[in-house]
Amino acid sequence: MTTTNTIQGRVSAQPRLHQTAPEIQAYGTVSHLLPLDLEEPVRLEMTERLNQLLADTITVRDLYKKSHWQVAGPTFYQLHQLFDKHFSEQSALVDAIAERVQLLGGISLAMASDIAETTRIARPPRGREEVPVQLSRLLDGHQVIIRDCRDLARRASTIGDDGSNDLVVSQVLRTNELQVWFLSEHLVEVPLVEARGQGETNTRGGGPQTLI
Ligand SMILES: [Fe+2]
């Protein structure tokens, strides 16, 4: 056989480029037999649900990077750093969820176009938004994920997939709950310089005085 990659039958250093072939596994299927002691229907249901969680987690992850880049205002530095920290934590979750789908014999979603079609989190505009709007969008995204986590974890436990239950509770749910705390505290209206609550202690002019 003569091809562009062989010269009179000798091995060539020419890379084989532009190769194509049919998929080796269709999306939405799982390998029939795996030594996991989990039946195929269980793995089918779990991989489908984990892919939904994956799509929403990828969306929140990317929303954090958008927020990291586009944040503006007096809290720029603090939020710029916080958003990137949360992005990194969400990236770790994305990898853990996707690899759980694969180890269950399924196929994980991966590409942006598929994520956009699958996620339940509202699409943000391309332009910049005010900090309170950025924070609200992120909190709404977390809420979608947290609600899904509790339901998915219970279902995983019911049908015997303890590994998925553990991943969803110990990593995904706990991380999202913590990030909600860090975001939501930024939306509490508190004075920056001077206390204004009725009956609070006023430290102006030396020693503390009680305002009546
Ligand atoms: Fe950066």
State the average pLDDT over residues 44-49: 98
Q: Which has more pLDDT, 196 or 41? A: 41
With 60 as the cut, is the pLDDT of residue 207 above it? no
Give the mean pLDDT of 131-152: 98
Stretch 117-123: mean pLDDT, rounded?
A: 98
Q: What is the DSSP string of the chain?
A: ---TT-BTTB-------S-----SS-TT---S--TTS--HHHHHHHHHHHHHHHHHHHHHHHHHHHHHHH--STTHHHHHHHHHHHHHHHHHHHHHHHHHHHHTT-----SHHHHHHH--SPPPPSS---HHHHHHHHHHHHHHHHHHHHHHHHHHHHTT-HHHHHIIIIIIIHHHHHHHHHHHGGGS---SSS--STT-EE-TTSS-EE--
Which band of pLDDT confidence, cut at 50, 70 and 90, is reported for residue 211? very low
Q: From the CA of 172, how far away is ligand 1's center (Å)?
A: 23
142 CA from centroid of ligand 1 (Å): 21
**pLDDT on residue 2:** 46
pLDDT above 70 covers a percentage of the chain that reads: 90
Centre of ligand 1 from the C-alpha of residue 80, in Å: 8
Give the mean model confidence (pLDDT) for residues 183-210.
73
Q: Which is nearest to 171 in space by CA: 116, 100, 68? A: 100
Residue 185 clears pLDDT 60, i.e. is over it: yes
Give residue 114 CA to ligand 1 midpoint distance, Å. Answer: 25
Query: Tens of pLDDT along 93-113?
Result: 999 999 999 999 999 999 999
Residue indicated by tokens 């990828």: 58
Paired tokens of 172: 């995904």
| Cα of 107 from ligand 1 centre, angstroms | 30
How far apart (Å, rounded) are the C-alpha atoms in residues 82 and 87?
A: 9
Confidence grade of residue 196 (pLDDT, cut at 50, 70, 90)? confident
How many Å lie between the centroid of ligand 1 and the Cα of residue 81?
8
pLDDT confidence of residue 1: 45
Q: Please state the length of the chain.
A: 212
pTM summary value: 0.88
pLDDT at 81: 98
